Structure 1
Amino acid sequence: MQEQFYRDPYQRVLETRVLRHDEQGLVLEDTLCYPLGGGQPGDSATIRATGVELKVTDTRRDRESREIRHQVPDAGGLLPPGTAVSLELDWERRHRHMRIHTCLHLLSVVIPVPVTGGNLNDETGRLDFNLPEGMELDKAVIEEGINRLITENHPVEIIMTSGEALKAQPELIKTMSCTPPLELPEIRLVNIPGVDLQPCGGTHVARTGEIGRVEVRKIENKGARNKRVVIALA
């Protein structure tokens, strides 16, 4: 299976064909749908074939086969292999994921300490930080810092590196709980030139200005030194 969501995260409609359809989901020759991973939800979409319209409620990658499976719980029947289909992404939801995911990268710049976890949905995102002793977080300062980087409208680029090269730059790995697969020959890095560079498998906006204004929703204690910062699109 090809992964068009990496080649063009802004593409909304794709003409493709069914590879297989069974009780575990629908597998296509190519897809626009990002599968759950890296804290980013799986995409939703609509699949249309002759006389058929199916709602994709979630997208997951099979751990063993690495196939991307589109979850269509109300299919009412299985589509035969080779069936021509049109896949239309739930773009508004995906775009909000992209905006929030890129914003979380900016949050990790404004709070330059190790990240212990993170997650996002189409409304909010959060990162957990391992703070050094004595460090305090100021909601207003964090919010101002993020929105300044957004307003500066920095470009967001995808560059590739190898697992071996990344091993030599461990400082690029910010999330302590999720180490990239360093055995792979190619690993995606999200580069915001002059601002941030880190490995990430998610989908992102093309420029930080596309995020729009955000607010720091809350800061929570998650342990003696662990703080959770929740952001939301304003």
Structure 2
Amino acid sequence: MSGEIHGRTTRLELHDQELREWEAVVLDAQPDGIVLDRSAFYPGGGGQPPDHGVLLWQGVQTRIAGVRKGDDLVLIPVEGDPVPPVGTVVQGAIEDDRRTALMRTHSGLHLLCGVVFRDYGCLVTGGNMEPLTARMDFDLREVPPGFKQAVEDACNAEVEADRRIDVKTLPRDEAFQIPDIIRTATNLVPPEVQDVRIVDIVGLDTQADGGTHVASTKQIGRIRVAKVENKGRGFRRIRIQIEN
């Protein structure tokens, strides 16, 4: 699938979201960036931050602090760390705790989006996340009485329902035949994207999305609605915490 290749790098995390270690060859190497032929580092996007991790090679460790997207996916080494020469075979490893927390959080935001759309008919106007904490903004003109607790209770009912979370890629025309596939106020899928990655919380929420996710809602953990904020002009910000 075209969406699984960025520049010269095959994106392994889009095919296997549980992958944490793999072997790759260095295609380009500079003090400020490394390009691999294969990578499972999520580069960031859709509010989800990029992964952290390491490259291991010839008894040396290079820490990866982020990813820069351009013509290639460029892994950003920690300043001062050694950089493997072009042609070196490296072992890549993702920081598991961080990635898993971000997967739980991202899936939690999709669950929140599904609940608010189902129960209140509201579209998303923005969002962001860090491991186990996140916020999502909605076009909600009036906040009904008991809204905060009602949303939290509804989200945790869906967690307990242990709904399956499926990921698939569809041709653009087929994907956009799915009702309400775009839950944001603005369609963020660029027109040049012909293969659309779909994340489906079965029976609750189906969206175009490029991030990483857990396999079921039970794996998210308990969702606590920490705060509901008025951001003006009818926009409301819901802040959530993901708990074990």
TM over 0.5: yes
Alpha-carbon distance, 1:199 to partner: 0.3
Q: Say if 2:23 is the partner of 1:15.
A: yes
Distance in 2, matches of 1:187 and 1:26, equals 27
**Number of residue pairs the alignment of both structures matches:** 231
1:119 Cα deviation from its structure 2 partner? 0.7
In the alignment, does 2:210 pair up with 1:205? no
User: Cα RMSD over matched residues?
Assistant: 1.7
Q: Aligned residues: percent identity?
A: 33
Q: Is the 8 A contact 1:27 1:70 kept in 2?
A: yes
Counterpart-to-counterpart distance in 2, 1:181 and 1:135: 35
Query: Partner letter of residue 19 of structure 1?
Result: L
Q: TM-score, normalising length from structure 2?
A: 0.89
Read off the aligned partner of 1:186 and give its amino acid letter. D
Please tell me whether the aligned partners of residues 62 and 82 of structure 2 are also in contact (alpha carbons under 8 angstroms). Answer: no
What's the CA shift string for 1:53-75, capped at 9, x where partnerless? Answer: 1111112321xx1x211110334
Matched, 1:139 2:148: yes
Partner of 2:235: 226
Within-5 A mapping of 1:80-229: 80-112=85-117, 113-133=122-142, 135=144, 138-169=147-178, 171-177=180-186, 179-229=188-238
User: Tell me, what secondary structure is at the counterpart of 2:38?
Assistant: coil
> How much does 1:137 deviate?
6.3
* Long gaps (5+) in structure 2: 1-8
SS of match in other structure, 2:39: coil
- Offset, 1:224: 2.6
Aligned mates of 1:111, 1:77 — CA distance in 2: 47
Q: Deviations over 1:148-206 (max 9, x none)?
A: 10111111101222223344457210112451123322110101221111100000001
Extract structure 1 runs of 4+ deviating beyond 4 A: 133-137, 167-170
Higher strand fraction (1 or 2): 2
43, 47, 69: which one pairs with 1:39? 47
Distance, in Å, in 1 between the alignment partners of 2:136 and 2:232 is: 14
Q: Is the 8 A contact 1:156 1:207 kept in 2?
A: yes
